[in-house]
A and B are shown apart, each in its own frame.
Chain A
Amino acid sequence: MIAIDGLGVVLGGRRILNDISFAAAPGRLTAIIGPNGSGKSTLLKALCRDHAYSGRISIDGRDIAGMSPLEAACRRAVLPQSASLPFPFTVREVVAMGVRAGRPGPLGAALYGLPERALEAVDLPGFGARYYGDLSGGEQQRVQLARVLCQVWQPVLDGQPRYLFLDEPVSSLDVKHQLIVMDVARRFADAGGGVLAVLHDLNLASMYADDLLALAAGRLVAHGPPAQVLTDSTIGAVFDAPLRVGATPAPGQPFVLPQSAQLAPFSHHAQVA
């Protein structure tokens, strides 16, 4: 359980987050939505201790302020918005960094194939030998996700849930890979882990999330299941736009929703060791 109590963040003299309190349970996928500059990424960064904050954040009862970097790395993995590398690492070398993280001491031989399985999970099989810098933005994003998955491969370890923090995990992806990545996150939650994801696509959020957190101007405006948060009044207020939930466009104007995907179940590998 991630418990946040009275969280506030001030950056460069500006108050970015104001008195945020909520809890995100393991086994659930929580999506953070809100307009640009509403503090979504800042919220995630505070959870990762990237920013100084006031208030209290705890993971499974442990205050994160008192955690060593190693303990934190063992409990949660973080997908950044984007990452460029100054040196020519291969895709496999990047993903393998996640295998090391949070696992001090010698690695068992069983972990050797983990990067390959993670790359398969994000639909990049056979990309191991490619140079990270040569990939497209969307491919790089999925390589980073594979690295993150390696860090917390088992959603529950020794009876303790682990967490994925995803900052706009599908921002550079095409529709198919948006679905693949959200499926990965969904399965992680279904297997007992917790997922906290910043999402811009309200349809994907509605389709995959158990709970939505709506932020506007650094405040928590709404928190609850999609059906409760995605209403005309809430969405209209949060995004300051006259939106209507569930309204279809005029006849003859095509629209495509991710919910309509009739893709065969992707052949992802089971979440094991």
Chain B
Amino acid sequence: MAGTMLAQTLDAPRIGPAERRAEGDRSRLGRLAIVVLVGLLLVAMALSMTTGASGASAWSLLTHGLGWAQGDAAALARDHAVVLNIRLPRMLLGVLIGAGLAVSGLLMQGLFRNPLADPGLVGVSSGSALGAVGVIVLGTTVLAPVTQALGIFALPVAAFGGGLLTTAILYRVATRSGQTAIATMLLAGIALGALAGAISGILVYVASDAQLRDLTFWGMGSLAGATWVKIAAAGPIIALALCASAFLAQGLNALTLGEATAAHLGVPVQRFKRITILAVAAATGASVAVSGGIGFVGIVVPHLLRLVIGPDHRYLLPATALLGASFLLLADALSRTIVAPAELPIGIVTAAFGGPFFLWILLRRRAAFSW
């Protein structure tokens, strides 16, 4: 009897420290935040489905469909069309793009080890836009074989290519032996963004009237033109980038200690950086291709979450995707209702939130930065 007792004591797992939650371990908070954010996203999705100019109600459609209520057949058919062909794709596109932009901001911040890095700020979005403008303007002439071969994917793939090129150049310029110079990164981003903007400008200058119309609609930074075709074109690319990013969390954590230390911790740093750059370019490029430039999502969302749950990417990554999607849906809902029946481009709404927020980050961190 005594022997068994002793054996049990010796074999028992060390539950002493493990039983007690360790101080400074925020993983439970991270998990809780993810659950809460899933709830928030569901609410935002429901709101997005039920707000709009037409007064069509997804709820009434649902109750009719289930035979709970009777109604005018013509109104029902109209509601059906509005909800399925306008609101549903718009909502799904909002989820994809919100998550894509927020996560690409987070990945970029991890890669550059800097909370101010964002595809919109450092020229990646401009590079993506250049790719998209190139396809719109040259798609029927110089690039005709490419657009024909890629079909609906031509625009997102070109935007991806533009974003990839910009990110790669930026990384080359701003990072030396594993250390990213913040000032160099921002300045190189401005230069690359200006260059891409200039080339886009030349393309716009030579564009035909019909192309100008396309460009204007595309560049407004809006979810208004959401269609199932756009979702089919951009959705898989963004989804792929999001899935890939799920495997980057541990590496991003290690990378915050610096590239050399990340390698010492077992991260294959060069390969890791390449995958991260690919994911950023894919998510940004596909988002820009279908919705134009929507700024600040990639700065506001990760930063806000870091303040609440800390910078551990295992929780920060999924939380950022969820909050990014919710944030964009809510901003979209606001942009549709604030001047109804007209609507505000969503880029204005996100910039109105993001601009002051960015200044606030700068003020808070001013003491910590020496540049």
Chain A residues in 8 Å Cβ range of B338: none
A90 to chain B: closest residue by CB: B24
Q: A191 vs B115: C-alpha distance in the bound complex, in angstroms?
A: 42
Chain B residues in 8 Å Cβ range of A87: 115, 256, 306, 311
Q: Is the CB of B265 within 8 A of A151?
A: yes
Q: Is the CB of A116 within 8 A of B22?
A: yes
Chain B residues in 8 Å Cβ range of A113: 14, 16-18, 22
Nearest Cβ on chain B to A251's Cβ, whole angstroms: 48
Interface size on A, residues (CB 8 A): 45
Chain B residues in 8 Å Cβ range of A86: 113-115, 256
Q: Is the CB of B310 within 8 A of A69?
A: no
Chain B residues in 8 Å Cβ range of A185: none
Nearest Cβ on chain B to A150's Cβ, whole angstroms: 10
A114 to chain B: closest residue by CB: B17
With an 8 A cutoff between CB atoms, is B80 at the interface? no
Interface string of B261-285 (1 = CB under 8 A from A): 1011111110000000000000000
B258 to chain A: closest residue by CB: A83
With contact pairs A80-B258, A117-B17 given, residues A100 and B265 touching in the complex (Cβ less than 8 Å): yes
With an 8 A cutoff between CB atoms, is A73 at the interface? yes
Q: Is the CB of A128 within 8 A of B22?
A: yes
Number of interchain pairs (Cβ within 8 Å):
110
Q: Is the CB of A48 within 8 A of B264?
A: yes
A84 to chain B: closest residue by CB: B258
Q: Is the CB of A69 within 8 A of B269?
A: yes
With contact pairs A48-B260, A50-B260, A85-B256 given, residues A98 and B265 touching in the complex (Cβ less than 8 Å): yes
Interface string of B141-170 (1 = CB under 8 A from A): 000000000000000000000000000000
Nearest Cβ on chain A to B310's Cβ, whole angstroms: 7
Interface string of A63-80 (1 = CB under 8 A from B): 000001110111001101
With an 8 A cutoff between CB atoms, is B23 at the interface? yes
Chain B residues in 8 Å Cβ range of A117: 17
With an 8 A cutoff between CB atoms, is B71 at the interface? no
With an 8 A cutoff between CB atoms, is A88 at the interface? yes
Q: A132 vs B25: C-alpha distance in the bound complex, in angstroms?
A: 13
- The one of A70, A80, A90 that contacts B266, using a Cβ cutoff of 8 Å: A70
Within B18-47, the residues touching A (CB, 8 Å) are 18, 22-26
Q: Is the CB of B266 within 8 A of A97?
A: no
Q: Is the CB of A112 within 8 A of B18?
A: yes
With an 8 A cutoff between CB atoms, is A62 at the interface? no
Chain A residues in 8 Å Cβ range of B26: 90, 93
With an 8 A cutoff between CB atoms, is A266 at the interface? no
Interface size on B, residues (CB 8 A): 33
Q: Is the CB of B312 within 8 A of A100?
A: no
Q: A78 vs B257: C-alpha distance in the bound complex, in angstroms?
A: 12
Q: A130 vs B258: C-alpha distance in the bound complex, in angstroms?
A: 21
Chain A residues in 8 Å Cβ range of B368: 133
From A70, A80, A89, A126, residue with most partner B Cβ within 10 Å: A89
B16 to chain A: closest residue by CB: A113
Q: A87 vs B110: C-alpha distance in the bound complex, in angstroms?
A: 9
With an 8 A cutoff between CB atoms, is A109 at the interface? yes
Q: Is the CB of B267 within 8 A of A69?
A: yes
Chain B residues in 8 Å Cβ range of A102: 265-266
Chain B residues in 8 Å Cβ range of A68: 268
Nearest Cβ on chain A to B360's Cβ, whole angstroms: 16
Q: Is the CB of A115 within 8 A of B268?
A: no
With an 8 A cutoff between CB atoms, is A217 at the interface? no
Nearest Cβ on chain B to A42's Cβ, whole angstroms: 13
Nearest Cβ on chain B to A64's Cβ, whole angstroms: 12
Q: A70 vs B209: C-alpha distance in the bound complex, in angstroms?
A: 57
Chain B residues in 8 Å Cβ range of A97: 253-254, 257, 265
From A45, A94, A97, residue with most partner B Cβ within 10 Å: A97
With an 8 A cutoff between CB atoms, is A261 at the interface? no
With an 8 A cutoff between CB atoms, is B3 at the interface? no
With an 8 A cutoff between CB atoms, is B63 at the interface? no
Within B242-259, the residues touching A (CB, 8 Å) are 250, 253-254, 256-258
- The one of B114, B257, B268, B312 that contacts A83, using a Cβ cutoff of 8 Å: B257
Within A11-69, the residues touching B (CB, 8 Å) are 45, 48-50, 68-69
With an 8 A cutoff between CB atoms, is A142 at the interface? no
Nearest Cβ on chain B to A156's Cβ, whole angstroms: 19
Q: A89 vs B255: C-alpha distance in the bound complex, in angstroms?
A: 13
Chain B residues in 8 Å Cβ range of A115: 22
Q: Is the CB of A109 within 8 A of B13?
A: yes
From B257, B264, B266, residue with most partner A Cβ within 10 Å: B264
Apart from A70-B268, A97-B253, list 4 A-B contacts with CB within 8 A: A50-B263, A101-B264, A113-B17, A117-B17
Chain A residues near B (Cβ < 8 Å): 45, 48-50, 68-70, 72-74, 77-78, 80, 83, 85-94, 96-98, 100-102, 109-110, 112-113, 115-117, 126-130, 133, 151, 273
Chain B residues near A (Cβ < 8 Å): 13-14, 16-18, 22-26, 113-115, 250, 253-254, 256-258, 260-261, 263-269, 306, 310-312, 368
Show 28 A/B contacts (Cβ-Cβ < 8 Å), sorted by A. A48-B260, A50-B263, A69-B268, A70-B266, A70-B268, A72-B266, A73-B266, A77-B264, A80-B261, A83-B261, A85-B257, A86-B113, A88-B310, A90-B310, A92-B22, A93-B26, A100-B250, A101-B264, A102-B266, A110-B14, A113-B16, A113-B18, A113-B22, A116-B17, A116-B22, A126-B23, A128-B23, A130-B24
